[in-house]
Structure 1
Amino acid sequence: MKFDTVVLGAGMVGVSVAVHLQQRGLSVALVDRKAPGSETSFGNAGLIQREGVYPYAFPRDARTLLRYARNRSLDVRYHVDAMPRLLPFLYRYWHYSRADRHAAIARSYSTLIEHCVDEHRALIEASGAHALLREGGWLKVFRSAHKQDAEVRNAQRWNAEYGVAFEALDAAQLRRAEPSLSHALLGALRYTDADSVSDPNALVMAYARYFEQRGGRIFIGDATTLEPHWSVETDAGRIDAPSAVISLGPWSDTVSARFGYRLPLAVKRGYHMHYAAIDGAQLNQPVLDTEIGYMITPMARGIRLTTGAELAACDAPATPVQLDAVEPIARDTFPLGARLDERPWLGRRPCTPDMMPIIGPAKRHKDLWFAFGHAHHGLTLGPVTGRLLAEMMTGAPTIADPHPFRSDRF
């Protein structure tokens, strides 16, 4: 079986890469060990974050660092036995998070973020996935005036720098927008240009079906069998292609390391659980409880509660202590009923220390390409990443300058 290119990884990023390459006339094989959207893309909060021009930075103030060091914070936890391996990465993450460096990163990162909604809507239109899309933004809610004032100042700065649209809601306006939320909340910020989806996994699958309808092929296979120039083993036999794309999310470094690339990739793990809503309660949009560090989102299966970050080895056993800790608070914030899942879902966000994805060619191997490291914004940036990489691979003008995302920048 011969194709023009093989894409390894069928999450949001990999599927988007495959679709965009196919739209440019290439025959594409998409290979993963599971069905499309079954790993990291399955369990996120469903946000397409047009406001996300500043990627999530590492805290630099001593008070916050001390709070996290105690390992009792609700929004960040860590595995002690993972720290020796993670400390070099965390130091580099801290380094890049200094205010001036973070601002420089945002100038590059925003060139992708500014296209995220339009590129998703284009694929949603092509794939017929309109029923999954929820327009109108999402909310950050606040418990203290101090936190609300600080977040409003941030939003004003982002608006001035990058045109991020928002509206501030006082307590009465928040109650009108979300009557079922706790009246103890003081107000909210709504990022009005963002979109969200009711089922991230279903969205990936819709894009994958569109890919197949156009003649693309999806295979179950083992990415670790990739060999130059280029072939990979699948359940239907070995596939050959002149080019290959590694888009395996948190497992991308496992395959890239086989070819001598030591790329600084770590994971922020996270958990989710679905709940029934009780007493006729309704949630109209995703809501982030900013000072606690969890999100509740209306999904097809129920109300999805997603946690903050857990720093641990990628495939370490699940330890959903954050979910258990924030669940009582979430129940006070919104009338959650019974748990609907047999066990908490565990996902892994692939992160680089400078908070930006790796998109572009592997420097020492002809026709090997990378598309991974999107951290919290894999769903957000999947389609624009797919377009950018497809344009690079086919020699077309690019939607954004790819230089900041090159693999040899570290």
Structure 2
Amino acid sequence: MSASVIVLGAGMVGVSVALHLRRRGRDVLLVDRQDPGLGASFGNAGLIQREAVHPHPFPREMSEILRIARNRSVDAHYHLRALPGLVSPLLRYWWNSEPGRFARIADAYAALIRTCLDEHMAIARDTEAMALMRPVGWLRVYADAAKLEAGIAEAEAMRREHGVNFAALDARGLAAAEPHLQQPRAGAIHWTDPVSVTDPHGLVMAYFRRFAEAGGRFVHGDATTLTRGTAGWSVQTSEGRAEAAAVVIALGTHADRVTRRFGYAPPLFGKRGYHRHYALRGNAVLNHTIVDTAGGFVLAPMRAGIRLTTGAEFAPADAPATPVQLARAEPLARALLPLGEQVEQQPWMGIRPCTPDMLPIIGPLPGQKDAWCAFGHAHQGFTLGPTTGRLIAEMMAGETPFIDPTPYRADRF
């Protein structure tokens, strides 16, 4: 097989890259070892997060660090065996989270985030994807009144600096928005800009169908077989060796397995996450995705049921799933919302690809002609897939990028 571009990785980022390249007339072959949308794009809170102008920093307060170090929380868990390999990236992550450095990083991050709704709509409009998208925002729920006030003050600053919108809800307003919560809460911040998606995998597949309808091709293949030849790039697929003049590496947390073979070793590290769906008892409903700050978990209304998601787990790449955070979160979630039976026998697990400076890697692969990077989006690959797809396609086409790509360049590492 031959193509003008091979895109490795068929998650939200890879599918979006492939679609944007195809719209610019490229003959695109999308390659993944599994079917589209089954990686980290499958398991998330289902939010296109226009408000997420600040990436997730490393905790700076000693009390917070000690809380996480005890390894008993819902929002963070670690395997002792993983820590030696994480010392360097986590120290750099901590260093970059210093307020002055973090402010500069947040400005670069916000430049991507502020485009996310428009770029998703440019793909989803007039397709079945629109039926999956609910423009209702989400709720950050607080049990403590002082923490609610602090959260509102931070939200006000974000509104001034980045134009995000929110509404502050007191206890009565929260009860009106979510009448089936079973425990009192001080209130909530309602982020009103984000779009809630009832089936994240379904949205990736809707975008994939747009790619296929435009003449794009998909095939299963092994990205680790990527080689460089005199005519370009080639990779082994289930239908034989595929060749192309250019390649885009959109493999998420597995990207460095490929790039290291070509002299580029980015300091990627993974944050594992889990989810499980539950039925609701009786006539209960959940109108919005809610983040319970006291419990450290997310509840999201999905087509499959109420999705309970956890924070970050740091584990060796070969470690089996250890959904202890779900086990810790479930009784807390049941106390907050009348959850019924579990929908699946086993929880889902995926890995978020993270960088120490919290910015994705988007741009040319250093030292390699016609090779491009599109990975490292951490918690926001689902949100930023279409934005990344457009940015990569514009750079590859020699167009003036609609966003300055400099902060995301691969050679910063």
Scaled by the length of structure 2, the TM-score of the pair is 0.98
Residue pairs, 1:339-350, within 5 angstroms: 339-350=342-353
Instruction: Assess, with a 3 A threshold, how the Cα gap between structure 1 residues 76 and 376 changes in structure 2: closer, same or farther.
Output: same
Runs of 4+ in 1 over 2 A off after TM superposition: none
Q: Aligned with 1:130: secondary structure?
A: helix
> Residue type matched to 2:204 in 1?
V
Who is 1:358 aligned against?
Answer: 361
Who is 1:158 aligned against?
Answer: 158
Could you tell me whether the CA contact under 8 Å between 1:269 and 1:314 is conserved in 2?
no
Aligned residues between the structures: 410
Could you tell me whether the CA contact under 8 Å between 2:183 and 2:335 is conserved in 1?
no
2:395 to 369, 388, 392: 392
Q: Aligned with 2:274: secondary structure?
A: strand
> Residue type matched to 2:12 in 1?
M
> Residue type matched to 1:30 in 2?
L
Q: CA deviation at 1:165?
A: 0.6
Q: Aligned with 2:196: secondary structure?
A: strand
Who is 2:253 aligned against?
Answer: 250
Q: CA deviation at 1:212?
A: 0.5
Give unpaired runs (5+ residues) of structure 2: none
Q: CA deviation at 1:127?
A: 4.0
Could you tell me whether the CA contact under 8 Å between 1:296 and 1:305 is conserved in 2?
yes
> Residue type matched to 1:214 in 2?
A
Who is 2:48 aligned against?
Answer: 48
Could you tell me whether the CA contact under 8 Å between 1:74 and 1:326 is conserved in 2?
yes
Rounded to whole Å, the distance in 1 between the matches of 2:302 and 2:357 is 31
Rounded to whole Å, the distance in 2 between the matches of 1:156 and 1:315 is 43
Rounded to whole Å, the distance in 2 between the matches of 1:138 and 1:158 is 16
Who is 2:72 aligned against?
Answer: 72
Q: Aligned with 2:258: secondary structure?
A: helix
> Residue type matched to 1:326 in 2?
A
Who is 2:406 aligned against?
Answer: 403
> Residue type matched to 1:216 in 2?
G
Pairing 1:95–2:95 present: yes
Rounded to whole Å, the distance in 1 between the matches of 2:233 and 2:183 is 58
Residue pairs, 1:168-179, within 5 angstroms: 168-179=168-179
Rounded to whole Å, the distance in 1 between the matches of 2:344 and 2:258 is 32
Who is 1:329 aligned against?
Answer: 332
Pairing 1:298–2:293 present: no
Pairing 1:279–2:282 present: yes
Could you tell me whether the CA contact under 8 Å between 2:280 and 2:338 is conserved in 1?
yes
Give me the CA root mean square deviation: 0.9
Who is 1:224 aligned against?
Answer: 224
Who is 1:213 aligned against?
Answer: 213
Q: Aligned with 2:412: secondary structure?
A: coil
CA shift digits 1:236-286 (9 cap, x unpaired)? 111110000000011011111111111010001010000001021101111
CA shift digits 1:101-124 (9 cap, x unpaired)? 111001111111000011111111
CA shift digits 1:103-161 (9 cap, x unpaired)? 10011111110000111111111543111001021110010012111111110110011
Q: CA deviation at 1:183?
A: 4.0
Residue pairs, 1:258-273, within 5 angstroms: 258-273=261-276
Could you tell me whether the CA contact under 8 Å between 2:264 and 2:366 is conserved in 1?
no
Who is 2:243 aligned against?
Answer: 240
Q: CA deviation at 1:314?
A: 2.9
Could you tell me whether the CA contact under 8 Å between 1:250 and 1:314 is conserved in 2?
no
Who is 1:6 aligned against?
Answer: 6
Give unpaired runs (5+ residues) of structure 1: none
Pairing 1:382–2:385 present: yes
> Residue type matched to 2:406 in 1?
H
Q: Aligned with 2:109: secondary structure?
A: helix
CA shift digits 1:150-178 (9 cap, x unpaired)? 11111011001101111100111111111
> Residue type matched to 2:351 in 1?
R
Rounded to whole Å, the distance in 2 between the matches of 1:115 and 1:401 is 13
Q: CA deviation at 1:91?
A: 0.2
> Residue type matched to 2:184 in 1?
A
Rounded to whole Å, the distance in 1 between the matches of 2:409 and 2:47 is 26
> Residue type matched to 1:54 in 2?
H
> Residue type matched to 1:117 in 2?
L
Could you tell me whether the CA contact under 8 Å between 2:133 and 2:196 is conserved in 1?
yes
Q: CA deviation at 1:20?
A: 0.4
CA shift digits 1:45-81 (9 cap, x unpaired)? 1011101111000001111111111111221110000
CA shift digits 1:272-324 (9 cap, x unpaired)? 00000102110111110012211000001000000011011233111100000
Who is 2:191 aligned against?
Answer: 191
Rounded to whole Å, the distance in 2 between the matches of 1:130 and 1:256 is 36
Q: Aligned with 1:242: secondary structure?
A: strand
CA shift digits 1:27-59 (9 cap, x unpaired)? 100000011001111111101110111100000
Q: Aligned with 1:55: secondary structure?
A: coil
> Residue type matched to 1:260 in 2?
G
Could you tell me whether the CA contact under 8 Å between 1:175 and 1:183 is conserved in 2?
no
- Of residues 180-189 and 169-178 in structure 1, the stretch that sits farther from structure 2 once superposed is 180-189
Rounded to whole Å, the distance in 1 between the matches of 2:216 and 2:315 is 36
> Residue type matched to 2:14 in 1?
G
Pairing 1:317–2:338 present: no
Rounded to whole Å, the distance in 2 between the matches of 1:127 and 1:8 is 25
Could you tell me whether the CA contact under 8 Å between 2:7 and 2:250 is conserved in 1?
yes
